Structure 1
Amino acid sequence: MPRFELESFLANMERFRITELNMVPPMVIQIINSPLSRKYSLKAVRNGGCGAAPLAAEPQARMKALLSPNAVFNQVWGMSETSCIATMIHYPEHDVTGSVGRFLPNHDAKLVDGEGRDITDYDVAGELCVRGPLVVKGYHNNDAANRSSFDREGYFHTGDVALRKRSNGLWYIVDRKKELIKVRGFQCAPAELEGVLLSHPDISDAGVIGIPAAGFGSTVGEQGSEVPRAYVVKKHGTDLRESDVHRWMKDRLAGYKQLVGGVRFVDVIPKNASGKILKGELRAMARTEVGAKL
């Protein structure tokens, strides 16, 4: 296939009885929310994986349910700078918690806080840093990028916020460091909010950004604070209202994670070819709608 087209993809999966499947989140969201997933069978798939952007546990489980009863559908993590995949869960192990698994052999990994200090505890989020023979040695003819991306120990600072859970030893990607929303001194990960939104039965896609809190009930003491704002795609034929979305979030998330910046319904969430949400385009939309300096 020259490009992803939903029905052709599903028809070919059934026709050729594909057993291995590598995907990006937008493909997963389209499949699980389409009636075409009931028209075509994916039961030949034994091993599936998803990467390029975080995928919440709920849509991951729904995708797994479409595959063979003994199939696995796990997430991976990696970057161009890590020679593609750096973490995974090895077949036939299956994860249902939204983890990206464990590091492949020959990788060293650490987490650092906002001051660059090593994080030594489990269950504490920080910037993920990696080194090893599969990590690039640097950026060609770009000394400034090398100084900002590599530390004196040779670790590459990925810009991804992650944590490792004590309960299972697995790694979890929280979000991109630059995308974290700063709410009254708390850090709020858009990916977490997007995952909760996508678990709503009437929502087919969603994107969350932070916008300045000014004008949304902030105080002088909260200068520089942000509030989350969501862009939501309704499932076809539903009558979802903004109040329904707020109620859904209120029942599931802490107060500082609520969508104080508003909920806007759109036809599509802008994404790049690898499935990452184009947050810049969402911010441009918010500038027009709110008139805020984002």
Structure 2
Amino acid sequence: MNRKEIDEFLNAPDFEAAGRLTLPDLLEKRVRATPEAIAVRSPAGHLSFGEWLDDARAVSARLRSSGAYQPKTPVLVWVDTADARQVVIAQHGVLDSGCIVAPLDDRLSVAEVGRFARDVAATAVIVSRGLLSSRTDEDLRAFVPGGLPAGGDPLDLLLFAVEGEAFSLVPAAKDGAVPPGGARPGPDDCALLAFTSGTTGRPKAAMITHGGCVQLAERMVNGVFAAPRGGRPVGPDDVIQSPVPAYLPTSIVNTLYAAVLAGCPLSYRGRRFDPEAEEREMALAGTTIYAGAPAHYAMMCQRPASEDSRAARVQVMTASGAPMTAALHQSMRARWPGVAVANWYALNETMVGQTLNFGRDMDLDPTAIGRPVWPTELAVVDEGGGPCAPGEPGEVLLRAPGQMVGYYLNEAETAKRIDAGGWVHTEDIGFVGREDGLLRITGRKSDRINRGGFKFYPAEVEEVLLGHEALADAAVLAVPDPILGQDLVAMVVGAGGRAPTEADVRAFCQGRLSRNKVPSRVYFVDRLPRSGFGKVVKKELIALWEAIESGRAGQ
């Protein structure tokens, strides 16, 4: 696209044109239109679109002038999300250089960063000084044996080359040593590696192209965020707010570059979710669109309503990443009576809202995840690959522009997840309702529980548990059993100081589930281990159960 076409795209973005753009194109055209407008709001400070591009280009120049620079290769971004400005500057700097951005969780250890670097053959790592300063001496020495250098990079970002098992600090370039430009990416080049959660093994890196990222951002602006408020697209008068950490790929595509396309601010409050601060920011920023996970809304709804709650002018609240319950939907409507609540579904391999439940459908059944968002195609198939009839459960398949083109350096896993027809096999089990045509997810293929030959999925048990008024959160877990093969236990969090007993919870389940689905044990915990996007981290849940059982055995 030429400059005139790109500028016209600002005023009337369309899906096909979006696929011909790159993420650098998108930010550059936004800066030409509204350079002084606020791009990112954060407790650490605000960042305009113009400042963002300038600082990102400084990072790009630093990378291009270094011996670590290899176009179209992954660069890890391991930056403290307490300051979202650092995160977005580092990420876009990588993209501007023509490299692939691979964002990492800021809680990882140096050893884990090393494993990610080896898995994707990363050539460099960008690290924030603040993150390294907070590490243990051993972790710090693994990166900089001689200690941290003096500051000077934009927002104190440091560049390290990856050399086999080691990292080496890349010194700042001398004046005049920065080349005039890098390898400009094309729409079909990989922009982003979206690491899977790795709950069943080593994380895989889903590849999303530049054109795909822009198409997905366009779908959020004109579809997912627009439909619940009567089809009105996101524009400069809106404010998007999200508690989802800035390093998560879904945050990058769904909200960050959607905000760039719309020309509106995006508010991040930092990695550690604070329900009181979130509602305060809603009122202060004039948030119109809030994009979170059910767990975020549940924590806000547990607090007494405040002036901030009543002052909020949010028009749309979208939930994703975990099941929505009828009880939570009711609480949200009571707390924010003027808001349109929507529930959407996607995964790292497909990104953004592939299906959406809103409006009358949402009021009738908030646990459903809706209908496909154009141009997404949906299929539900049986174990033989044949189509399932309405009401019949099977594996959910999705196909849409913008989805991953494969797993980076992993053709075998790519072949398992994308078939010859271009369908992504989600590994989620669900069905389309006979009467209403809405998609419902009942579990994951890998999560299916086999309790003495009786097979079912955790989601249906968790939904019942979350219907207990004295429980704020719940997850169920299959544990080894010498007779049944697998037994079922529940990990629950009490709500608002109320403390039901294990017998109370099991009796509640017995009245609503078949006997085979009732947990044999109920464990009360302070909180469940959840990812930044609100999903229960099964590996950590298993470790928590093992620690509790080990403690019991030692008594």
Q: Give the TM-score, by structure 1 length.
A: 0.86
The aligned residue for residue 271 of structure 1 is: 530
Give the 3 Å change call, closer, same or farther, for CA 200–42 of structure 1 in structure 2.
Answer: farther
1:196 and 2:470 aligned: no
State how 1:102-181 maps to structure 2 within 5 Å: 102-113=371-382, 115-181=383-449
AA in 1 matched with 2:471? I
AA in 2 matched with 1:118? G
Q: CA deviation at 1:27?
A: 0.3
| Aligned mates of 1:96, 1:227 — CA distance in 2 | 34
Q: CA deviation at 1:39?
A: 6.8
- Which of 165-174 and 132-141 deviates more? 132-141
Q: Which blocks of at least 5 consecutive residues in structure 1 are unaligned? A: none
The aligned residue for residue 453 of structure 2 is: 185
Report which structure shows greater RCO (CA 8 Å, sep ≥6).
1
Pick aligned residue for 2:297 from 21, 25, 28: 28
Query: Which structure dedicates a bigger proportion of its chain to helix?
Result: 2
Q: Deviations over 1:192-220 (max 9, x none)?
A: 22222122111111111111233xxx4xx
| Aligned mates of 1:26, 1:283 — CA distance in 2 | 20
Q: Which blocks of at least 5 consecutive residues in structure 2 are unaligned? A: 1-268, 551-555
| Aligned mates of 1:9, 1:210 — CA distance in 2 | 35
The aligned residue for residue 319 of structure 2 is: 50
The aligned residue for residue 259 of structure 1 is: 519
Q: CA deviation at 1:249?
A: 0.6
| Aligned mates of 2:538, 2:351 — CA distance in 1 | 25
Report the secondary structure of 2:314's partner residue: coil
Give the 3 Å change call, closer, same or farther, for CA 91–288 of structure 1 in structure 2.
Answer: closer
Q: CA deviation at 1:85?
A: 1.6
The aligned residue for residue 542 of structure 2 is: 283
Q: CA deviation at 1:38?
A: 7.9
How many residues align? The count is 280
| Aligned mates of 2:311, 2:518 — CA distance in 1 | 37
The structure with the largest alpha-carbon Rg is 2
Q: CA deviation at 1:169?
A: 0.6
Q: CA deviation at 1:75?
A: 0.6
Give the 3 Å change call, closer, same or farther, for CA 155–60 of structure 1 in structure 2.
Answer: same
Q: Give the TM-score, by structure 2 length.
A: 0.47
1:239 and 2:505 aligned: no
| Aligned mates of 2:456, 2:310 — CA distance in 1 | 38
Q: CA deviation at 1:288?
A: 4.1
Identity of aligned residues (%): 29
For the Cα contact (< 8 Å) 1:46–1:67, is it kept in 2?
no
| Aligned mates of 2:497, 2:403 — CA distance in 1 | 47
Give the 3 Å change call, closer, same or farther, for CA 16–106 of structure 1 in structure 2.
Answer: closer
Q: Deviations over 1:51-109 (max 9, x none)?
A: 0122222212221222234x321210012221322111356864441111111122222
Report the secondary structure of 2:459's partner residue: helix
Calculate the aligned-residue CA RMSD, in Å.
2.3
For the Cα contact (< 8 Å) 2:381–2:396, is it kept in 1?
yes
The aligned residue for residue 208 of structure 2 is: none
Q: CA deviation at 1:158?
A: 0.9
For the Cα contact (< 8 Å) 1:57–1:96, is it kept in 2?
no
Q: Deviations over 1:244-280 (max 9, x none)?
A: 10111111111111012x1011111011111110111
